[in-house]
Amino acid sequence: MRIGELSERTGTSRRLLRYYEEQGLIIASRGANGYRDYDEATVDRVIQVRGLLDAGLPTRIIKQILPCLDKPRAIYFPDATPEMLATLEEERDRMARRAECLLRNRDAISEYLDAVREYNRV
Amino acid sequence: MRIGELSERTGTSRRLLRYYEEQGLIIASRGANGYRDYDEATVDRVIQVRGLLDAGLPTRIIKQILPCLDKPRAIYFPDATPEMLATLEEERDRMARRAECLLRNRDAISEYLDAVREYNRV
DNA sequence: TCGAACCCTCACATACGTGTGAAGGTCTAC
DNA sequence: GTAGACCTTCACACGTATGTGAGGGTTCGA
């Protein structure tokens, strides 16, 4: 699939798809004419990347954690240095803290909305 | 308390404290000499703001949701227009989605780390 | 064969959170 | 009264994710 289709199917501008490639988050083979050629799985990958970006992670980190997120990651464990594992652990904890913060504040907003609705009903 | 103390107690540069004020996230009264004067509650507020920023929310949004997060927000309900309520609801849902994404990927990382550890043990 | 609709690279632009430093005022302790 | 530590505003700079457009090649249908 070419970049236009991937763009439409993921709701992501062509510019950003090229940027993600530049950052090493997705890969594309090239046709004889130089056009990028994506395979089907890239759709999901782009959606995942966007989710992580929207969740506040920089591409640098996303690039690091993506290999752990591949579905059939089974057989080969890349040269996972202890430092890299430590980084991953750290990042995992950061993510947990972020999620906690988000949920806490989400609840607070919900409470507030409930209170306002109650107030307006009376 | 002056900006230096607030900076130390929140682990936030003076520059950023001034920026948060400029963005309407915190307020400070001024002494006769022009120095900012913060009250005790500002410490918690700054920490909350930092958490939200780290969770990926822009100051624009944080400014909007902060009023709902004040502890004794009881008595007055500000002129909560329907549009603002809708925005809040939307933002709440976005936060939930982000949190979900973070937790999902956190779990994936955990799984990966477990697998690697298992692999290295054998 | 022409035009539309793709694709390419390159480069400049913007918003946002943040750093850094200049130029200068205030306060405190020696 | 002077040095040092604090404060002020202002302004320029950077990294990151994104937009936009120029200049140019390719493909395909009328």
Nearest nucleotide to the CA of A54, by C1', is D17
What is residue A60's predicted lDDT score, i.e. its pLDDT?
93
Q: What is the mean pLDDT of residues B69-77?
A: 60
Residue A75 has pLDDT above 60, yes or no: no
Q: What is the mean pLDDT of residues A64-83?
A: 69
| C1' of nucleotide C7: residue with nearest CA | A35
Residue B111 has pLDDT above 90, yes or no: no
- Residues of chain B positioned with their CB less than 8 A from the CB of A68: 108-109, 111-113
pLDDT digits (tens, 9 = 90+) for B10-68: 999 999 999 999 999 999 999 999 999 999 999 999 999 999 998 889 999 999 888 87
What is residue B11's predicted lDDT score, i.e. its pLDDT?
96
Q: pTM for the whole thing? A: 0.86
Structure tokens at A100: 């906690």
Residue B73 has pLDDT above 70, yes or no: no
DSSP A32: T
Task: Identify the residue whose tokens are 């947990």.
Answer: A96
Task: Identify the residue whose tokens are 């002129």.
Answer: B79
Which of A83-92, A93-102, B52-61 has the weakest average pLDDT? A83-92
| C1' of nucleotide D18: residue with nearest CA | A16
Q: How far is residue A40's CA from residue A113's CA, in Å, rounded to a whole number?
A: 41
Q: Measured in angstroms, what separates residue A27's CA from nucleotide D28's C1'?
A: 27
Strand D nucleotides within 7 Å of a protein CB: 6-11, 16-21, 26-27
Residue B80 has pLDDT above 60, yes or no: yes
Nearest CA in chain B to A57: B56
